[in-house]
Structure 1
Amino acid sequence: MAAEANLTRDLGTGLSIDFTEQFGQRFRTLTELLGVQRTIPMASGTLLKTYTSSVTLDGTEVAPGDIIPLSEVKLEDGPSQEIKWDKKRKAVPMEDIQKYGFSRAITMTDNKLLNEIQKGVRTKLLAQLATGTTTVSAVGLQAAMAQAWGAVTAKFDEDDVQVVSFINPFDAADYLAQANISTQNAFGMTYLENFLNNRVVFMSAEIPQGTIYSTADGNLVAAYVQMASGEMAQAFDFTTDSTGLIGVTHDVNKQRLTAETITAYGLVLFAERLDGVVVGTIEASPVPDAGV
């Protein structure tokens, strides 16, 4: 008997394609919002360097024919990060596949896994931004954001600076309650565009309340291991999208009667100049003296 027409085949590959396309599109959206200008493929194990910089210009007025004195430019190394493999695996048992259907059971749990991978990328970024070496403080969100904007602009005064910031959602709540501003979502974070002179402001509960992280869009770099080609893609039959940011494969474990999703990626989003990262503190309004 001939095979029935229109059979659905290679569903695992289809699910892998959907996973990688979702992750790639979400990450592209994030980097476009942040204005990331450098997305660089690197080998696993590469050390990602950060630095602080300073320039001291010699102000001597040079007479005709005299030797021009040197001005000093300092680049000091900051903490480095190693781009490492991040591997994840999850399994759906036969019972859930029977209960929900194969495609739905895998898709539901894949979405949860995708969200956790996103969280890991942004958690590392926020942890690094917390080590910024420039600090400001002011009373209230608007004043603190203005100080942070000014400090970033001063650090990159030779560039066409667009400032991006990260804040705790509770710090924005009072302000947003009184303003006609719509929020959007990307990569698991709520964000505001063109807010208080910033290109974009992201909100995350991972940021301590009363704290702002601000930097220039050109200071952010994405480094990743290319998953779309090479020995690993051949050895493990990874599916990737056009970005090659993440490799995904779906398989079944017959001994355990589970359907598994396996992902591998090496991806770091970081600020290159730590002195160009401003850590702002939102101070509370002073309490009036009861005796006054």
Structure 2
Amino acid sequence: MTVDGNVVTSDKLVAHSIDFVEQFSDNVKTLLGAMGHVRMHPMASGTQIQTYNKETKEAASRTVDEGEVIPLTQVKRTKDKVYTLSLTDKLRKVTTFEAIQQDGFDQAVTFTDQRLLSIAQKNAKKDFFSALTSKGTTTTSGNALQGAISNGLGKLAGLFEDVDNVGTTIVYANPSDVYGYLGKAQITTQTAFGLKYLQDFLNADVVFLSTSIPEGKVVMTVDNNINFYYVDMHGQAGNAFNMTVDETGLIGVTHSRLDDSLSYQTVAAGGWLILPERTDGIVTSSITVPKQPQDGVNGTKN
């Protein structure tokens, strides 16, 4: 007997779930890979995560006479804030019988799944930039975009000068500031997780462009200072809801029929926190506008 192509069989359910989680996970890993070596930490929902500041108090003297007590240098890591990892995204959408009949099962479900996937990615990016713009504690400024980035990189170098293998320097900037600086110059951008980025730009290893960064500000850190914590969707909880996950467990998805409404639903869930290891290791640099000489001053025109 020939089976109608619109019939929802079990293999279609699994195939769509696998496609969804793999797209999301691949995009996240591409983004983290573009940044360098961001550490990923799968954890249970409800886990508390502590962030820290570094404090150093140098000894009064580094040279003492023979036989005298060597003064102490104090290096300590002080607690900053505590965050709780939770399911930040619980998403559900329904594809109707009529939509499936009109467009076919694969097209109708794939189209609406893509909308749900874009929402999940948008939420993850929003959380990421919220962490950058709200949790950093070191500030500086510089004339125009180049000066702001240069002074910020100088701050970073000082903060991590005693740390080995700090990794890639990452800058996040508003596209208006970057393109305003470049003018009509031709540049090559790449894309990861819907974000454009430039490599080896203004002495930074990578510069990401996002409107989530306010105009007139650039935010920067090193990749080894960024931790990506997420709820591992493997295990009993995910199995209880028949969720499909990939090897990372970044997001769980399940597809099921709703016979009472002649519909077909997609449910996705995941939770993540992007946090700095050191909050003082995120530098926010303000872009200042160079002052123009006033007419009639120092020989300028009247």
TM-score, normalization by structure 1: 0.92
CA distance in 1, matches of 2:140, 2:260: 58
Q: Structure 1 CA distance, aligned partners of 2:55 and 2:151? A: 20
Q: How does 1:1-292 map to 2 (within 5 A)?
A: 10-58=11-59, 59-85=61-87, 86-131=89-134, 132-158=136-162, 159-161=164-166, 162-228=168-234, 230-291=235-296, 292=300
Kindly provide the CA deviation profile for residues 46-102 of structure 1, in whole angstroms up to 9, marking residues without a partner as x.
122212112122134234444332211232222222111121111122222222221
Give 2:54's aligned amino acid.
Answer: S
Q: Secondary structure at the match of 2:196?
A: strand
User: Partner amino acid for 2:286?
Assistant: T
CA contact (8 A) 2:131 2:274 kept: no
Aligned positions, number:
289
Separation of aligned partners in 2, 1:177 and 1:106:
43
How far apart, CA to CA, are the structure 2 residues paired with 1:203 and 1:246?
25
Q: CA RMSD in A?
A: 2.0
Bigger shift: residues 173-182 or 139-148: 173-182
> Unaligned stretches of 5+ in structure 2?
none
SS in structure 2 of the partner of residue 50 of structure 1: strand
Equivalent-residue separation in structure 1 for 2:98 and 2:86 (angstroms): 35
- For residues 112 and 204 of structure 1, what CA distance do their matches in structure 2 show? 21
Pair 260,151 (structure 1): closer, same or farther in 2 beyond 3 Å: same
The alignment's TM-score, normalised by the length of structure 2, stands at 0.89
2:260 alignment partner, SS class? coil
